[in-house]
Amino acid sequence: MDFEYYTTPDFEEFPDKLKVLLEANERKIESLLQNRDRSYMNFVRPYMETFEKLDLFFTPLSHLNSVQNSKKTQQAYESSLPLLSLYHTKLSQNRELFEAFSQIKGSDSAQNEVVRLELRDFRLSGVELPEKEKKRLKEIDLRLSELGNRFSQNLLDATNAYELVIEDPKDVEGVPKSDLALAKTEKEGKTVWRFTLQAPSYLAYMTYGQNRLLREKLYKAYVTRAPDNAEVIDEILKLRDEKAKILGFDHYSELSLATKMAREDEEVVGFLNRLADAALPHAQKEIEKLAKLAKEDGIDSLESYDVAFYSEKLKRVELDFDDEVTRPYFEQNRVLEGLLDFVGELFGIAFKEVEVPTWNESVKVYDLQERGETFSRIYFDLEARENKRSGAWMHDWQTHHEDEKKMEHPATAFVVCNFSPSKDGLPSFLRHEDVVTLFHEMGHALHHLLSRVKERFVSGIHGVAWDVVEFPSQFLENFAYERSVIKRFAAHYKTGEPLPESLMEKIRKSKNFLAATGILRQVEFALFDFMLHQKLYQGDEIQKLLDSLRDRLSLVKPPSYNRFQWGFAHIFAGGYAAGYYSYKWAEVLSADAFFACYERGVVKRNMTDGYKQYILQSGASEPMDRLYRKWLGRDPDSRALLRLYDLG
């Protein structure tokens, strides 16, 4: 297999080298257009190959800018964005290319889907518009690219800039030892504890820190990060609205849905409101329990910075479960090996660790094999560190496909998380929620790596409608709560003793602990995102919209200083604009699929074989709703989502 090997980019020369590559791609495409005897094989296949070459070159830089951010990566990345934006806009508005694709006929469903999606995207890029409007769209796309990067960099800089230094040992009582070990440092010869806005550190104090004033201080710093993003948001929204109108849509949400499984605004808003209505009465009971616990501590009004702390306390009361107790049983390396073992059995594949160049010594790399043959590769970068973007994600690099010479190319992908790192001789320990996160991102990776589609533009995650792209990740994360799966890797790191059955049962029950409150939170985010793009909001109007949703959906209303939107990277620096609803939309499919494949602790092998064939291996060779019907012979059952959460 012809795998790419990671090398650190030459930052100073990168933009110039990128320019050379883009110019070579343009010459290649021009030569393809000059051939009047065009076919799918001699035109579309080599055209798609230019995109693969670009990804192979650019991905190492974009990836490194997220996982090992520095001034050098920032400068090279920011200098490259205008070149890329201009290049993609020129291609997407090339009338001759559009007309060439209009004349191409594929020989199978995957090839026809490539042509259909390309023609759709050409039209959504304004290929049929007058030159003046085309030019304006180019300017908008370039600026949006720059603004998205600025939003992300502002957020990263603000996250790295803050620290809360605690000197009194009483203020860290109750914080788990492993978190204290990471926070412990020296200041003027005295032991102190340093908490930051990086996720593992922030969550540790918000969940276990008993000093309420310090919790609020840390919370306030977190929800008021990156105030510079207020101006960035205004400009992003203004440009998105203008772009939608140039393309003939009333507002940006309509433009967004043109590439989704959902068809109309009303379908999305109705789905989210029905979900909120189903969750509200259950959530009210959950919050009443938290408020009662807080009152026992003399707190008359439960606040946002109390929720994580009292949620953990309630979990101990109701489930007799402290997530911290399980951490010694979830040593990172063992969890990863257990995950790979389970996935291997589930889908009939094997993982072989390999030694190849990486960007950090903690990164692990595996080749995926089937019947002894290697077909793809995966990189795991799982530990938090400074200058690494927070959160967890899967990033594709190579894509499985055949080129015009019918040579097969493999897929590669990166799985990135921010788990507590090993320190002072202690290994990295995971909370169970970290285990769930790892399963989730692995689900994304499998969707890309198991592809058997020959056409690059619809192979792996490419071409998959955004509101179903979370389907495979959510499907796999459901298994992280199952006893038969947990047994594979849950063993005490010192004694090797397996996780007690009583703790396994508590983990299973914790799956739906405060589930309704969690659903409401996600619905609030999704409605805010979607409604924000149904008309043009600016300045204070944005906060007023968010506040109006909180009045209905936030049973613990955030303090007035909360500026959640400044950190909402999913929609302002990611791909989720007017699409955050996708998490819940896709969860209908994932819940239905999970129940189809797994019943009473038993995997239905014939069903997982079908899931592998029709969902994972088929990429976007056909629309997901059609692939789903091919697999199960029916549409997804929306009741499965409520069943998953024990809400109906």
Distances (CA, A) of 634 to 590, 592, 613, 625: 14, 11, 16, 9
Q: Give the Cα separation of 161 and 75 in Å (integer).
A: 19
* Residue tagged active-site, from 286, 383, 441, 482: 441
The three-state secondary structure class of 247 is coil
What does the block give as tokens for 80?
A: 């490259």
Q: Which of 537, 575, 530, 627 is nearest to 264 (CA)?
A: 530
**Pair 258, 251: CB distance under 8 Å:** no
Identity of the amino acid at 634: R
Sequence-distant (≥ 6) Cβ neighbours of residue 56 within 8 angstroms? 4, 397, 398
Of 643, 514, 532, 531, the C-alpha closest to 587 is: 643
**CA-angle at 112, arms to 106 and 118, nearest 5°:** 115
- CA-CA distance, 550 to 557, in Å (whole number)? 6
Taking Cα atoms as reference points, which of 522, 515, 516, 519 lies closest to residue 568?
522
Residue 585: CB atoms within 10 A of its CB come to 28
| Whether 441 is catalytic | yes
State the CB neighbour count (10 A cutoff) for residue 246.
17
Beta strand extents in 296-441 (DSSP E only): 350-353, 364-370, 373-383, 393-396, 401-402, 408-409, 411-419
Which amino acid type is present at position 48?
Answer: M
| Helix (H) or strand (E) segment spanning residue 112 | helix 109-124
| CB contact at 8 A, 416 and 64 | no
Our measurement of the distance from residue 116's CA atom to the centroid of its chain's CA atoms, rounded to an integer in Å, reads 26
**What is d(CA 215, CA 309) in angstroms, rounded to the nearest whole number?**
9
From residue 114, give the alpha-carbon distance in Å to each of 40, 104, 464.
Answer: 10, 10, 11
Q: Which amino acid is at 119?
A: L
Phi, psi of 598 (to 5 degrees): -145, 125
468, exposed or middle or buried, with CB in 10 Å at 0-12, 13-18, 19+? buried
Answer for the pair 331, 412: CB distance below 8 angstroms, yes or no: no
Read off the amino acid at residue 259.
Answer: T
| Contact present, 457 and 48 (Cβ < 8 Å) | yes
Residues known to be catalytic:
441
